[in-house]
A = this chain, B = another copy of it.
Amino acid sequence: MAAKSKILVIGGTGYIGKFIVKASAETGHPTFVLVRDNTLSHPEKSKLVESFKSFGVTLLYGDLTDHDSLVKAIKQVDVVISALGGQQIDDQVKIIAAIKEAGNIKRFLPSEFGLDVDHHNAVEPVSSFFEKKVKIRRAIEAERIPYTYITSNLFAGHFLPNLLQQNVTTPPRDKVVILGDGNVKGVYVIEEDVATYTIKAVEDPRTLNKTVYVRPPANILTFNELVSLWEYKINSTLDKIYIPDDQLLKSIQESPFPDNFMLALRHSFLVKGDCNYEIDPSFGVEASKLYSEVKYTTVDNYLNAFV
């Protein structure tokens, strides 16, 4: 059996990065995380980095702005996964340049882990944000770097504990705000499963130069279905407050950044249905079909923890 690919995660202490690092190490990939000199002085990040060490992860000290450190880190691995945050999308041109110079990378996964930025109906400021991701995709393709784009849809661990309501840490028990008519399908994926599918994809020839859509069938739900599921679990009916499309668009227009961004993102997936683009087999594959052996967490099961 061939040795498992060596994986470098950039942004490994971030929201989704930490799950990817863990999944990579646990499945036996020699796993490397790029950390900055000052990462260990950040209390939360330092705790994470300690846990990484306990999984046998190798820390590589470097910085996006230090080209040589980046090339040196990249030369030690086969696969680069970027999990950089939303403010660092553009900075990935530096990773592309370093991969190009290193010349040894078999697969690059840029920071995606959301909607398919090549097929969406988002309004500003989210559309400008998606454009940044699109530019990175086009730069990767222009440089002929082997890639996989992970369209993992909605982070369940972020959106479900409060049923997309703000400022509540458990799902609502009295009333719920519904954007649009609530009849649009969304796809909720638990973060650990996003990481599992991502690591499965990194050395799979079927995902080479493709977009991997993560759409576990049991987790494709309209917002109304999500609310009904929750009402059933708590054996209670919630008051429903509907915010029509035009009112939502007005709120987006009248809010400053980042609130307008948060609302526009919800508009994209809850009103425009941007999770549910039809997959064209010429560029897309679906993760739960490719890796049917993965026992993903269903939304139904996940919500039980909050009853």
Contact = CB atoms under 8 A, between A and B. Distances in A.
Interface of A: 15-16, 43-45, 85-88, 90, 124-125, 128-129, 132, 155, 158, 165-168, 177, 246, 249-250, 253-262, 265
A260 B45 CA distance: 14
A255 B169 CA distance: 13
Contacts of A259: 158, 262
Contact of A250 (B44, B167, B246): B44
A258 B255 CA distance: 14
B85 A257 contact: yes
B85 A125 contact: yes
Nearest to A168: B167
A158 B261 CA distance: 14
Contacts of A87: 124-125, 128-129, 132, 257, 261
Contacts of A15: 254-257, 260
> How often does this chain occur in the complex, in copies?
2
A132 B43 CA distance: 25
A53 to B, nearest CB: 18
A158 B128 contact: no
Q: Which of A15, A257, A262 is most buried by chain B, counting CB atoms within 10 A of its CB? A: A257
Contact of A166 (B166, B254, B257, B261): B166
29 contacts: A15-B254, A15-B257, A15-B260, A16-B256, A44-B249, A44-B250, A44-B254, A85-B124, A85-B125, A85-B128, A85-B256, A85-B260, A86-B257, A86-B261, A87-B124, A87-B125, A87-B132, A87-B257, A87-B261, A88-B125, A90-B90, A158-B255, A158-B256, A165-B167, A166-B166, A167-B167, A167-B177, A258-B258, A261-B261
Contacts of A255: 15, 158
Nearest to A191: B256
Contacts of A125: 85-88
Contacts of A265: 258
Nearest to A88: B128
A290 B255 CA distance: 29
A265 to B, nearest CB: 7
A158 B265 CA distance: 19
A214 to B, nearest CB: 15
A79 B253 CA distance: 25
Contacts of A85: 124-125, 128, 256-257, 260
A246 B177 CA distance: 30
Nearest to A253: B44
